[in-house]
Structure 1
Amino acid sequence: MSQSSHKYSLTTRIFIGMVAGIIIGAILQALFDDSGDLRFSIFSFEISTYNILVEGIFSTLGQIFIASLKMLVVPLVFVSLVCGTSSLTEPSKLGRLGAKSVGLYILTTAIAVTLAISLGLLVSPGEGLNLSTDAEFTAKQAPSFSQVIVDMFPSNPINSMAKGNMLQIIVFAVLFGIAMAMVGEAGKRLGAFFEDINTVILRLVTIIMNLAPYGVFVLMAKLFATIGLDTIGSLAKYFVLVLAVLAIHAFLTYPILLKLFTGLNPWSLFKKMREAALFAFSTSSSSATLPVTMETARNKLGVGKSVTSFSLPLGATINMDGTAIMQGVATVFIAQVYGVDLSINDYVMVVLTATLASIGTAGVPGVGLIMLAMVLQQVNLPVEGIALIIGVDRLLDMTRTAVNITGDCTVACIVGKSEGEIDEAVYNDPDAGIREEEVDLKHFDQNS
């Protein structure tokens, strides 16, 4: 890295990478058709520029970046949870953290889906549309709620870590940390060992974060080179409505809850969430963004370690406000396209199902579409209707992931405030975390 890179903060450089990737992707989308027909010859070899850039360089580097982020999730969650739990002096505190976190996550999800249905009925995004429903969508079978509760407890914790089953990892880490706290000196020695591992993992997070502008660039270039604007055009009303509800929930619901429960200034939260939000938008994964979310909550928002170690991994697993908003709008949209009139009772059932499903399908691949399939089946709408919105769902998924991690940090701040585990001086300091970031950048440059 050059010395000139210090002129810009990491957030600014990530934003520059994202914008540059969007521009490059849009140019490639304009120059090449779906088959990448525009070709040129070098040294008598016919080479597809499109395939080399998009399917080769961009795709490969993007997958490496995502894999690098996911690589950190399991060790970070396990080690930080063990450290946080083993340091608790009050056993009852863990129960309070769990009850408050889960309760707030369920509350925000219920508000999200209710807001989505209300605005969906007001705007009517599917009325008058005659979209083709020839496309097929096969929904994966979602487990029952009782089975999800059983599956939270790992029979083989090593296998749970290998598969990245976050709920099982959280349960095992909490139990392991409690056991450490109960064994006295042996637990303290082991706790010091885990603290050292945690320090190393956080340094690894810093290294990956400094590569983020390049990772974000290739992800955006790949995405916008493969998504056509014509797909968005046919679903413009649905697309814009989902974005609008996501914005209202992020910039109205969260600030109201934060101000109501803590008295803290919501603007400080939004300013400090920029970097994590850009990560979430680029990766479309709350889990992949978790290392950045935890770093933001601890160093920039001043939330205590025990709260961030518990609430944020839990939120990345079960808090799906953005997905709930998509479900609410999509249910109204699909019902209107198919000409099905839903009753008030049906919409109440959608709210309940979507809220419970945010926990009930945690850890299942393709969670957003599985949850929507569950909701549609609950009110007897055709699951095949999901095929209508798949074309634009990738872009919406990026936005709702940014909303999800903002909700995670909002809940962490509320829980931290209620437990006396938030440093308000750090929260209100506009430079909190930035000074540490600059030191890390210099350290990284000197060793690169």
Structure 2
Amino acid sequence: MDLNMRPTLFQRYMNGSLVLQILVGIVCGITLASFTPDTAQSAGLLGNLFVKALKAIAPLLVFVLVMASIANHKQNEQTHIKPVLVLYLIGTMMAALTAVLVSFAFPTSLSLVTAEVSQSAPKGVGEVLNNLLFNMVDNPVNALVNGNYIGILTWAVGFGFGLRHASNTTKEILQNMADSVTAVVRFVIRLAPFGIFGLVANTIATTGFDVLLGYSQLITVLISAMLFIALVSNPLLVFLATKKNPYPLVFKCLKESGITAFFTRSSAANIPVNMALCKRLKLDEDTYSVSIPLGATINMSGAAITITVLTLAAVNTLGIDVDFPTAVLLSVIAAVSACGSSGVAGGSLLLIPLACSLFNIPNDIAMQVVAVGFIVGVIQDSAETALNSSTDVLFTAAACQRADNA
């Protein structure tokens, strides 16, 4: 073999297994944090750069892909958005109900603490819906700058339909732009092992795991409910939709989407990862270019679990008697509220006071529950995001496969 034809180290890295490289990054991050915590905290810069790069490119990717997809959509071709939305809704409701059942089976109490929470929580469902409507008509440039995905989707759909009657040259330019942004995103995703190495090292060195031991039962209840949804409930929905063994697809989504989402802790930042996975799965681009960014905003199974479990824990701590029908009502409130939670780390926690208000729990107590949520967020928010984000791809793939089998 010609020595000049040997791939360079960079080429070998770019063509290697991303999942294996991420696992190596995790191991290296844990090792560094265990032996040199100060250096590990400095390594957090790599993680912050990676997440910031994903968050920076994701809004542009969503805007261009959705706009180009709709503009180039052929009149007789059908998308599968409606079945995806149905799966999103049913999945979120089942997650909230599961959280109620687990909370009743294993009642949890909290050691409420006083902690400052800088963000303000919504006062009611009306405010959540009001914010949702105003986000839809946000200035498109402002939506791109601030990562307002509801606004980005709204304007991208509008521009896309407006460009349906554009010339073929214009549509080709749009597609070229989408391909260019996708190429940039693909390169950023290949840097995930370095970013996750920094995130793991910094998190373990800064927080450690001792602080979590006091909330072990709460964390166990949260993670158990999320695992049930990921490994039992979601596969059941996929089986009903596709009539095929769901687990190969489930494990692929968890491995290739859930792992990165677990460490970035942001559904929005994981949008490019999910887009790339959908492309590798050969799903309908007209469908996933809309369903993935939409899912990052409204498909919040993990958030519904978090809101329900923490609220019922607060209720149990305060000695408030709650019957099962009332708890089910809470799950409905949690599911609706979760659809309005932001796609950033800790977004669901700020909706806990809304659920607590159903039981007349004072806002100062509710915000203490939010503070507890931030304490366990090292594990809770990571697992929540992994469930939310991997489910976006799972349900999109299930809807596309169902259409192909029809």
**Does TM-score exceed 0.5, indicating one fold?**
yes
Task: Show the counterpart of 1:358.
Answer: 338
Q: How does 1:173-188 map to 2 (within 5 A)?
A: 173-181=156-164, 183=165, 186-188=166-168
Unaligned runs of 5+ in 1: 30-49, 425-448
Q: Aligned partners of 2:75, 2:358: CA distance in 1, in Å?
A: 42
Deviation for aligned residue 1:405? 1.3
Q: What does 1:41-120 correspond to in 2, within 5 Å?
A: 50=38, 53-55=39-41, 57-90=42-75, 93=78, 97=81, 99-120=82-103
Using the alignment, how far apart are the partners of 2:382 and 2:172 within structure 1? Answer: 38
Question: Residue 392 of structure 1 corresponds to which residue in structure 2?
Answer: 376
% same residue: 26
| Residue deviations 1:47-75 (CA, integer Å, cap 9, x gap) | xxx2xx244x3232221111111122011
For residue 350 of structure 1, report the CA deviation from its aligned partner.
1.0
Cα offset for 1:180? 1.3
Structural mapping, 1:397-436, within 5 Å:
397-420=381-404
Relative to 1, partners in 2 of residues 1:81 and 1:4: Cα closer, same or farther, differing over 3 Å? closer
Displacement of 1:211 in angstroms is 1.5
Equivalent position of 2:318 in the other structure: 338
Change (3 A) 1:391 1:198: same
**Residue 151 (structure 1) shift:** 1.5
**Contact 1:167–1:363 (CA under 8 A) maintained in structure 2:** no
Per the alignment, residue 195 of structure 2 pairs with 215
What is the TM-score of this pair, normalised by structure 1? 0.80
**Aligned-partner Cα distance in 2 for 1:146–1:187:** 38
Q: 1:4-403 maps to which residues of 2 (within 5 A)?
A: 5=13, 8-28=16-36, 50=38, 53-55=39-41, 57-90=42-75, 93=78, 97=81, 99-126=82-109, 131-137=111-117, 140-142=120-122, 144-181=127-164, 183=165, 186-273=166-253, 274-299=255-280, 301-362=281-342, 366-381=346-361, 382-383=365-366, 384-403=368-387
Aligned CA-pair RMSD: 2.5
Distance in 2, matches of 1:277 and 1:350, equals 27
Flag the 1:137–1:344 CA change in 2: closer, same or farther, 3 A. farther
Q: Distance in 1 between matches of 2:207 and 2:35?
A: 12
Unpaired stretches in structure 2, ≥5 consecutive residues: 1-8
Q: Deviations over 1:156-211 (max 9, x none)?
A: 21221122110011011111111111x2xx34222101111121112112211221
Report the CA distance between 1:291 and its aligned residue.
0.5
Larger Rg: 1
Residues of 2 paired with 1:232 and 1:363: CA distance?
24
* Equivalent-residue separation in structure 2 for 1:236 and 1:365 (angstroms): 21
**Deviation per residue, 1:17-42 (Å, 9 max, x gap):** 0122123223445xxxxxxxxxxxxx
Q: What is the TM-score when the length of structure 2 is the normalising length?
A: 0.88
Change (3 A) 1:197 1:4: closer
Q: How many residues in Structure 1 have an aligned counterpart in Structure 2?
A: 390
The CA distance in 2 between the partners of 1:132 and 1:245, in whole Å, is 22
Q: Distance in 2 between matches of 1:341 and 1:284?
A: 34
Moved more, 193-202 or 154-163: 154-163
Amino acid at match of 2:30: I
Secondary structure at the residue paired with 2:179? helix
